Structure 1
Amino acid sequence: MARTPFRFLGIALSLMVWQGVGASELEIIHTARAGDTLIGIEREYLAPPYRWRGLKTLNRVDNPMRIPVGTPLRIPESWLRVEPRSARVVALNGDVTMNGRPLSADARVPAGAILRTGTGGFVTLAMPDESRLTVQPGSQAQVEKMQGYKGITGQSTQINLEQGRLETTVTPQRGPAARYQIRTPTASLSVRGTAFRVGSDPAAQSSQAEVTEGEVAMNNASRDDARALPAGYGVVARAGEAIPQPRPLLPAPLVGIPPILEQIDLAIPITPVVGAVAYRAQLARDESFSDMVSAERLSTAVAHYKGLPDGSYVLRVRAIDEAGLEGHDSTTRFTLRARPTPPSPATDGSLSWTPGPESGSRYRIQVAGPEGFERPVFEQDTDARSIEAALPPGRHGWRVASLRPDGQPGPWSRTAVSDIRRAPGGAQLSVFNNRLRFAWQGLAGQIYDVQIAADEAFTQVLLEESIGEAAVTWPSPGLGSYYLRLRARDPDGGVSPWSETQTLRPLLPMLTWSLSSPGRPSP
């Protein structure tokens, strides 16, 4: 009898999964339709050496060419024609091996592969049906089975978790051959579409499961006592013991952080949860947590991160109860903008700073006004590591930031304080034995910075001294104009601004000198 592709499609759509009571093998149930024959079913679905005669015996069919419409026909899974499939690595971090060799991004992971993750290592796989499986740090898992069947919708996946933890989000399983199962040495979990986590502790001979979406069927490996785990519940199964009643997962903790963080070292506080003995913190670059950066168990309610690259992150935190079950997730998004790192302001009261470990080479300095840094009284960009600012006497708060390539400031430094004192008054000049003496009014205990330069910008400094008295002498220079300025340092660290620049000129033909201040003519 001639058969058409359309009729074969109809056959495939009529199949369903059936597991007999006490049966040890999964079977496909095909409901016979008009025109079905055992020979046709053999050609479409069975793998050698299985033949239609086996179907006839198994199902007690009298006439293989005439099957009554609606007759259920059992087909063992092991008889079906297998189509091998593989998973794809979509995210990888740290030490991860497959069959003892380092695993690479975008690698294919076939059935039989053994995955091991070191401390801080994890890998996320995309299954052929787009389910996601993430193997957590310190774990070992084997892809025991990953296959489809010719002409039948769906695939059969089995993951064996020997130790550690994994998390999975399962695409709704459609089709008669669809099956997604995770086994540990002490339990097995089967799903049709859900999100859950599994842990295995060989030393304690225990397994744990936490369901966050959908429902999971959990069996003890050594007992026939399946139990359904609904969303929001978890359970710890121990070898040789009945699976206990599921217990509610702890509520999600609160994590309150600004949307933009500018510190290169982060300490993120977690609001404590009643009943929690620890916390799990996971950091990822994506909303689905396929591309995780870190996964840690925290003994305190603070998550620490050092040296993260700038970018967008998603932080997921959950509380852990005394049984080891991990609770509901708290998810927080933030952007890290910690570079270039801010310089460190000087502590001596001067407007100077030291570059940070990842600072740039150009800086912006701001001095706060009465309304703070919203309206600074002074702002300047510079390549130098110190500046001189004509600020009035008093205490001034200031900060400095490195500039990004686009000219915008990075994170600001801490606010430093400079106590600006009144600048010394103008110096008086006297000449004796071809030496010039400059004297000015001062206070006891002050130190004075004195500069004499050949130019008004003080780029050609000829004399630079710090002295403890209010006078300085200088050999008479050659003919020309020179420039003098003074600055006072108080014993408590306060520094005055530079005084007004005074101009030193020779008087001819008497070969003496005059010292004048701005707005004051030479004598």
Structure 2
Amino acid sequence: MSRSPAGSAMRNARGVAAAIACLMLLCTGTGHAAEASAAAESASAPTAAPATDWVYRVVPGDTLYSIANSYLAPGAGWQRLQRLNQVADPKRLEPGRQLRLPVAWLRAEATVASVAFLSGSAQRERAGERIALVVGDTLQPGDLLRTEPDASLTLRLADSTRVLVSGGSQLRMDSLLMFGHSGVTRSQLTLDAGEAESRVNPQRTRGSAYDIRTPVLTLGVRGTEFRVRVAAGSTAAEVTEGRVAASSGRKPVATIADGFGMVAGATGATPVKPLPAAPGLSTLPTRYERVPLRFSWPTLAGAVGYRAQVFADQSLNQRLLDGSFTEPAAQWADLPDGRYLLQVRARDAQGLEGRSSQLAFTLKARPEPPFTTEPRDEGHAYGERVEFSWTKAAAAQRYHLQVADDARFETVRVDRGDVSGERLGLALPPGRYHWRIASIAAGDDPGPFSDASSFELRETPPPATLAPPKDEGGQLVFRWRARSSDDAYDVQVATDAAFTQLVLERRENLPELVLSRPAPGRYFLRVRTQQADGFTGPWGATQQFDVPRSLWWWLLPGAAVLLLL
């Protein structure tokens, strides 16, 4: 669908504003009734202007004629301004003097709001036409906004007020007025569903007004920050700064002060009550190196749930993540590396959300570390050299390997940031170690370390001593000294020293081999140890023995010892 130009939107909006201005003048009264009212005001003009007045400070060259021409709506007239402020000579005004100009007399022009930030998808409906919003779009009175469930939208009004619209919301821009060059604004929005968080500019001009209507309440700002949620026929209002006047139709309901809230439905409203306290985030770390991103904080007494949000800026205008959680923890699948602000608040049994706690944090999860392969976590290595290996990380140009004596890596034994491949052998003394690996991307961009793995480096087991074989009832029995009752043994018997012609190959759970007497000839025997932790030792020294044709046989000299690992 085509977009309407901003200039056309302003012209259409001004037409609406002109009609609104005329109605406002009719409401203030004209003719004799208005003159009588003005005379009564001039008879006892207060020194302090009421909240519905705008105060103008006279500058050199001003006259009541020029001020009325610049600021007043048609038909208001400089005479009314003269009587209200008890001006003796409309042509002679003292510079610095303050004049009261009732907002109802000011020239009203429709203004626009703009889309300052958008995450996710949102649409604008105008005159039956729906378009997708983008940052920088302008909104005019009558526009209807809809946000998708995962969206977050920030609006900027003419007086720099910010409105944060949550996902799944429907918000109508009923009225957006600017009164001439006075800086006075009046904005009225209607929230039919979802949530809107308002941060009204505290520096706005006196006489400005900002209201949000819901199906059951109208909330008029007397402060600067408050939240409104509409769901299941009820409205929840929470004030975090200033005051908000809540009314239903023309009937006042309550004034909600800073730190208080209320819930209203079709049948009435709950009493105003204190908001839940802010959760404690002081124990959370400020740096995170893994995704999914997970936060957890201490449970808050009385809370039935929590709301957690992540913002891209310290001013809390760019909300990237938003979620409700039943436990004191929040988790999101992904987020680009950067600096962010976490905001958390508790929710009570009535659905009111409380004051917020904030935590500035850094996410640095890229380039992701490779997966470690060897040595395995809680594994064992043997000998005087350890082979470290890991998978290839796509973004890595080289790797950073650390080996430490302690799990916190306070005593680092090996620190190598120049490893170019996925394997590195290191000589280490026996002991318990911890190791981790990190990727380094182009531009010397280091990523986080992998989770640490622990292993134990052990000395190579000493060879076992073989006892002389025995002939027991026609069977040959070979025995050797065991290191551990948990070890097993691989045994091979062959007719050649290269063990290509195997006569026997099997695993023994006991440190002995009982061999049925083979055919006469020369044989070779070797054994290796299989430890309970999976370590396979090397083959021991080969033993040679002969089986003679007679019943008497003996081993060759020098073959009385079998070396085993």
Residue 98 (1) aligns with residue 124 (2): yes
Q: Find the counterpart in structure 1 of residue 412 from structure 2.
A: 376
Q: TM-score, normalised by structure 1?
A: 0.68
Query: For the structure 1 residues 75 and 328, does the alpha-carbon distance in structure 2 shift closer, same or farther, using more than 3 Å as the test?
Result: closer
Query: For the structure 1 residues 231 and 322, does the alpha-carbon distance in structure 2 shift closer, same or farther, using more than 3 Å as the test?
Result: same
**Does the CA contact (< 8 Å) of 1:173 and 1:193 recur in 2?**
no
What CA deviation, in whole Å up to 9, does each residue of 1:102-156 have, x standing for no partner? 1111222222222211111011122222221100111111121112122434111
- Structure 2 residue identity aligned to 1:411: P
- Structure 2 residue identity aligned to 1:86: V
What CA deviation, in whole Å up to 9, does each residue of 1:15-58 have, x standing for no partner? 95677xxxxxxx98999xxxx9998786444556x5659979xx
Alignment counterpart, residue 211 of structure 1, candidates 236, 239, 249:
239
Matches of 1:425 and 1:389, distance apart in 2: 22
Instruction: State the Cα distance separating 1:211 from its structure 2 match.
Output: 0.7
Matches of 1:112 and 1:15, distance apart in 2: 36
Query: For the structure 1 residues 340 and 228, does the alpha-carbon distance in structure 2 shift closer, same or farther, using more than 3 Å as the test?
Result: same
Residue 390 (1) aligns with residue 463 (2): no
Does 80-89 or 225-234 show the bigger shift?
A: 80-89
Which has the larger share of helix? Answer: 2
**Does the CA contact (< 8 Å) of 2:406 and 2:433 recur in 1?**
no
Secondary structure, aligned partner of 1:402: strand
Q: Find the counterpart in structure 1 of residue 312 from structure 2.
A: 285
Alignment of 1:178-327 (within 5 A): 178-201=208-231, 203-204=232-233, 206-220=234-248, 222=249, 224-239=251-266, 241=268, 243-255=269-281, 256-327=283-354
Secondary structure, aligned partner of 1:340: coil
**Does the CA contact (< 8 Å) of 2:159 and 2:183 recur in 1?**
no
Query: For the structure 1 residues 378 and 29, does the alpha-carbon distance in structure 2 shift closer, same or farther, using more than 3 Å as the test?
Result: closer
Instruction: State the Cα distance separating 1:244 from its structure 2 match.
Output: 3.9
Q: Find the counterpart in structure 1 of residue 115 from structure 2.
A: 89
Q: Output the aligned Cα RMSD.
A: 4.5
Query: How many pairs align?
Result: 425
Q: Find the counterpart in structure 2 of residue 130 from structure 1.
A: 160
Matches of 1:141 and 1:412, distance apart in 2: 46
Structure 2 gaps, min length 5? 1-46, 85-89, 92-98, 381-386, 464-481, 501-527, 539-565
In percent, how many aligned pairs have the same letter? 34
**Does the CA contact (< 8 Å) of 2:397 and 2:442 recur in 1?**
no
**Does the CA contact (< 8 Å) of 1:30 and 1:75 recur in 2?**
no
Matches of 2:164 and 2:216, distance apart in 1: 20
Structure 1 gaps, min length 5? 1-13, 20-26, 60-64, 67-71, 427-441, 448-466, 475-486, 498-523
Instruction: State the Cα distance separating 1:472 from its structure 2 match.
Output: 5.6
Secondary structure, aligned partner of 1:319: strand
Q: Find the counterpart in structure 2 of residue 111 from structure 1.
A: 141
- Structure 2 residue identity aligned to 1:400: I
Matches of 1:102 and 1:468, distance apart in 2: 80
- Structure 1 residue identity aligned to 2:413: V
Instruction: State the Cα distance separating 1:280 from its structure 2 match.
Output: 0.6
Q: Find the counterpart in structure 2 of residue 338 from structure 1.
A: 365
Q: Find the counterpart in structure 2 of residue 400 from structure 1.
A: 437
Matches of 1:409 and 1:494, distance apart in 2: 35
Query: For the structure 1 residues 157 and 390, does the alpha-carbon distance in structure 2 shift closer, same or farther, using more than 3 Å as the test?
Result: same
Query: For the structure 1 residues 174 and 269, does the alpha-carbon distance in structure 2 shift closer, same or farther, using more than 3 Å as the test?
Result: closer
Alignment of 1:65-80 (within 5 A): 77=104, 80=106
Instruction: State the Cα distance separating 1:288 from its structure 2 match.
Output: 1.8
Q: Find the counterpart in structure 2 of residue 493 from structure 1.
A: 534
What CA deviation, in whole Å up to 9, does each residue of 1:391-439 have, x standing for no partner? 234443221111243546422222223343445999xxxxxxxxxxxxx
Instruction: State the Cα distance separating 1:364 from its structure 2 match.
Output: 1.8
Query: For the structure 1 residues 184 and 370, does the alpha-carbon distance in structure 2 shift closer, same or farther, using more than 3 Å as the test?
Result: closer
Q: Find the counterpart in structure 1 of residue 403 from structure 2.
A: 367
Instruction: State the Cα distance separating 1:166 from its structure 2 match.
Output: 0.9
**Does the CA contact (< 8 Å) of 1:181 and 1:191 recur in 2?**
yes
Instruction: State the Cα distance separating 1:74 from its structure 2 match.
Output: 9.4
Query: For the structure 1 residues 39 and 382, does the alpha-carbon distance in structure 2 shift closer, same or farther, using more than 3 Å as the test?
Result: closer
Query: For the structure 1 residues 121 and 54, does the alpha-carbon distance in structure 2 shift closer, same or farther, using more than 3 Å as the test?
Result: farther
- Structure 2 residue identity aligned to 1:132: R
- Structure 1 residue identity aligned to 2:332: Y
Matches of 2:277 and 2:340, distance apart in 1: 22
What CA deviation, in whole Å up to 9, does each residue of 1:83-111 have, x standing for no partner? 22222322210111222321111222222
Query: For the structure 1 residues 28 and 292, does the alpha-carbon distance in structure 2 shift closer, same or farther, using more than 3 Å as the test?
Result: closer
- The structure that has the greater radius of gyration is 2
Matches of 2:239 and 2:406, distance apart in 1: 56
What CA deviation, in whole Å up to 9, does each residue of 1:152-189 have, x standing for no partner? 34111111111111111111265454111111111111
Q: Find the counterpart in structure 2 of residue 5 from structure 1.
A: none
